Amino acid sequence: MPRIFSGIQPSGELHIGNYLGAVKNWVALQGQFEAFFCVVNYHAITLPYAKADLESRTREMAIGLLASGLDPAKCTLFIQSQVPEHTELAWIFNTLTPLGELERQTQFKEKSAWQEQVMAGILNYPVLQAADILLYRADLVPVGEDQIQHLELSRVIARNWNARFSPDAPYFPEPQPKLTPTRRIVGLDGQAKMSKSVGNTVGLMDSPEAMWDKLRPAVTDPARQKKTDPGDPDKCAAIFPLHRAFSTDTTVAEVEANCRGAKWGCIDCKKVLHANMVAELTPIRSRAAELKTAPAAVDAAFAEGAEKARAVARATIADVKSRMGLPQ
Ligand code: TRP
C-alpha cells in the first residue's frame, strides 16, 4: 500500500473550509493508503503566539479530527511535537537545503512581509515540512494547491540527500502532491478564501441556527436581483460550490435547473443546502461534544498515535544517521 502523509496546523475548531479542503478527504483516504496524519504544532510556533491559545487550539483540532471520522485504527494520527524525530531530521535537511530555494518561497515572502522581525523558523518552515513527509518516506501528500511549492522543495531535498548518501538506490522517494478534489473554497462573502479570522466561514461545531445565520446573507450570483430573474450557478460565489460539497448529485442537478429556470429563489436554495449541511455535520458536532468531556481518552488516542509514528520515525533516523557518519 502506498504511504501518504499530511499535516494540518492547530488552528482551533475546524470550519467548513479546512474540513472540505483537507479533513473530509483524509477520512476518505485513510482506508485506501497507509496513512499518517499530523497536527503540525512546530509549524504553528513559527509566528508569534500565546501559550494558552496554542494549547486550546491544539486540543480543539485533535478533537475535530477524531470527531470528523479519522480513525486511529485505520491511520496513524498524532501531534508533531510528540515525535521528536521530526525536528531531528529537519536539522539534517537544513544542511542540504539551498538558502535561495527558501528565500524564493511565496509563503515565506507573504508571512515575513508583515513581521517586525523575521525569525529563522519562518524561513525554514518548508524544511520541517520536508522532514515531516520524508521521515515516513511517504509517496503521496494530500494537500491543496497552495502547498505545491513546498512539495517541490521537499523533492529537491530528497534528491540532494539521495545524491550524497544513497546514490545507487534512492533512499527517500520524491513525494508527489495528491490534490484535494474540492478546489479552493471561496468564503461566504464571495471574495476571500475561507478562514476563521476573516469571519467568512461556518464552524463545524456551529449550531444549526448559527449556520443558518451565516448562510442566509451569503453571496450568490450578483446579477440575480430577484427570484423571477434566472440565475447562473456558475456565477454563484458561495452557495453552489457548497452544494457540490454537501449535496447529492441529484440535488446539485435540481439546484442548477431551479436556479436557471428561476423556480427557486436563493433563500429556497440556501434552505436545501442548510438541511444537507446539518445532516452531515450534526453527527460530527455531537461526537466532538462527547470527546470534550473525555480529555483523557483524546490524550490516550494521540499518545498511541505518536508511539506508532515513532516506530517508523526511529527506523528512518537510524538509517539516515548511519549513512551520514553520525553515531546513534
Ligand atoms: N504547510 C501545511 C499547511 O499550512 C501544513 C503542513 C506541515 C503539511 N507539514 C506538512 C502538509 C506535511 C502536508 C505535509 O497547510
pLDDT in tens, 283-322: 999 999 999 999 999 999 999 999 999 999 999 999 999 9
* 187 close to 195: Cβ distance less than 8 angstroms: yes
What is the CA(19)–ligand 1 centre distance, in A?
Answer: 15
147 Cβ closer than 6 Å to some ligand 1 atom? yes
Residue for grid cell 510556533: 45
pLDDT of res. 108: 96
For residue 56, what pLDDT band results from cuts at 50, 70 and 90? very high
Q: How far apart are CA 49 and CA 58, in angstroms?
A: 12
Given the CA of residue 9, which atom of ligand 1 is nearest to it? 5
What is the CA(6)–ligand 1 centre distance, in A?
Answer: 6
Q: How far apart are CA 105 and CA 47, in angstroms?
A: 16
Q: How far apart are CA 47 and CA 194, in angstroms?
A: 20
CATH topology of domain 208-289: Tyrosyl-Transfer RNA Synthetase (1.10.240)
For residue 76, what pLDDT band results from cuts at 50, 70 and 90? very high
Computed over every residue of the chain, the mean pLDDT equals 96
CATH number belonging to domain 3-185+294-324: 3.40.50.620
What is the CA(133)–ligand 1 centre distance, in A?
Answer: 9
Domain ranges in the chain?
Answer: 3-185+294-324, 208-289
pLDDT at 184 over 90: no
What is the CA(27)–ligand 1 centre distance, in A?
Answer: 17
**Environment class of 37 (CB within 10 Å of its CB; exposed 0-12, middle 13-18, buried 19+):** buried
pLDDT of res. 197: 85
**Environment class of 117 (CB within 10 Å of its CB; exposed 0-12, middle 13-18, buried 19+):** exposed
**Could you tell me what percent of the chain has a pLDDT over 90?**
94
pLDDT of res. 96: 98
Quick: pLDDT tens for 116-149: 999 999 999 999 999 999 999 999 999 999 999 9
pLDDT of res. 116: 92
Residues taking part in catalysis: 111, 193, 196
Least confident of 16-25, 70-79, 146-155, 194-203: 194-203
pLDDT at 182 over 90: no
Distance (Å) of CA 158 to CA 74, 150, 178: 27, 13, 18
User: To test the ligand 1 pocket, which listed residue (150, 176, 185, 195) has its Cβ within 8 A of the most ligand atoms?
Assistant: 150
* Stronger pLDDT, 98 or 196, i.e. the higher one: 98
* Stronger pLDDT, 140 or 185, i.e. the higher one: 140
Report the nearest-CA residue for atom 6 of ligand 1: 7
Quick: pLDDT tens for 205-238: 999 999 999 999 999 999 998 889 999 999 999 9
For residue 185, what pLDDT band results from cuts at 50, 70 and 90? confident
Given the CA of residue 43, which atom of ligand 1 is nearest to it? 7
Which phi and psi angles does 325 have, rounded to 5°?
A: 80, 30
Residue for grid cell 440556501: 270
9 Cβ closer than 6 Å to some ligand 1 atom? yes
Q: How far apart are CA 109 and CA 103, in angstroms?
A: 7
All residues at 6 or more sequence positions from 83 whose CB lies less than 8 Å from its CB, including other chains: 135, 306, 309, 310, 313
